[in-house]
C-alpha cells in the first residue's frame, strides 16, 4: 500500500491558480542498483502520474528512474468550478493507484 500526501487547498476563488503538491511513498527502485547479494535489483518505478479535474486530464508526467525515491511532484491548475480532482499513478508490474480530493470553488 502506497501512502500519499496530497497538498492542495479545499477551496479556492474562481479563476485563481492553485498549487498541488504530491508526495508518494514508493522506492523508485532504479533497476541499476545492486542488492545485498550483489545482483541488480529489479526496476520498480512509478512511470506515469496524472491529474484529472472533473474528468478532464489537466496534467500528466512520465517519470524515469532518475526521479528520487518517494517522488515529489508539484504543479498548478486554475480553479474553474467546484469538483473532484483525481490523482492516478501507475508503474512497473501493472500497479495503479488513485486518490481523489474535492475542491470547492467560490
Partner 1 sequence: MTDRRTLLAGALLALSLRPAAATPEDEAAAVRAFTGGAPLRAGRVELDIPPLVENGNTVPLKVTVQSPMTAADHVTAIAVFNEKNPQPQVITARFGPRAGRAELATHMRLATSQTILAVAAMSDGSFWSASAEVVVTLAACIES
Partner 2 sequence: MTWLLALLLGTALAQPRSGALDMSRELQALQADDSANPGMLWVQEGEALWQRPEGRAAKACADCHGAAPASMRGVAARYPAWDTASGAPLDLAGRIQSCRSQHQQAPPLARESEPLLALSAYVGLQSRGLPVTPPEDPRLAPARARGEALFRERRGQLNLSCAQCHEERAGLRLGGSLVPQGHANGYPQYRAEWQALGSLQRRLRNCMVGVRSVAPAYGAADYVEIELFLAQRGAGLPVEAPAVRP
- Binding flag, residue 68, partner 1 (CB under 8 A): yes
| Calpha distance 105→12 (Å, rounded) | 5
C-alpha grid cell for residue 18?
Answer: 492553485
- Of the listed pieces 1-9, 41-49, 55-63, 93-101, which binds partner 2 according to CB under 8 A? 1-9
- Residue 65, contacted partner among partner 2, partner 1, none, CB below 5-8 A by kind: partner 1
Binding mask 7-36 for partner 1 (x = CB under 8 A): ----------xx--x--------x-xxx-x
Q: Are strands 46-53 and 83-91 parallel, antiparallel or unpaired?
A: antiparallel
| Calpha distance 94→25 (Å, rounded) | 17
DSSP state of 27: -
Strand, helix or coil for residue 14: coil
Q: For partner 2, which is the closer residue by CB, 53 or 71?
A: 71
Binding mask 75-104 for partner 2 (x = CB under 8 A): ------------------------------
C-alpha grid cell for residue 101?
Answer: 480530493
DSSP state of 66: T
Binding site for partner 1 (CB under 8 A): 17-18, 21, 30, 32-34, 36, 53, 56, 58-69, 71-78, 80
Amino acid at each position: 500500500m502506497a501512502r500519499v500526501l496530497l497538498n492542495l487547498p479545499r477551496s479556492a476563488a474562481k479563476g485563481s491558480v492553485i498549487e498541488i503538491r504530491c508526495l508518494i511513498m514508493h522506492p523508485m527502485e532504479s533497476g541499476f542498483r545492486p542488492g545485498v547479494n550483489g545482483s541488480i535489483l529489479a526496476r520498480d518505478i512509478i512511470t506515469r502520474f496524472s491529474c484529472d479535474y472533473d474528468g478532464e486530464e489537466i496534467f500528466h508526467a512520465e517519470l524515469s528512474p532518475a526521479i528520487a525515491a518517494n517522488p515529489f511532484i508539484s504543479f498548478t491548475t486554475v480553479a474553474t468550478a467546484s469538483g473532484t480532482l483525481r490523482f492516478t499513478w501507475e508503474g512497473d508490474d501493472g500497479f495503479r493507484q488513485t486518490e481523489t480530493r474535492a475542491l470547492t470553488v467560490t
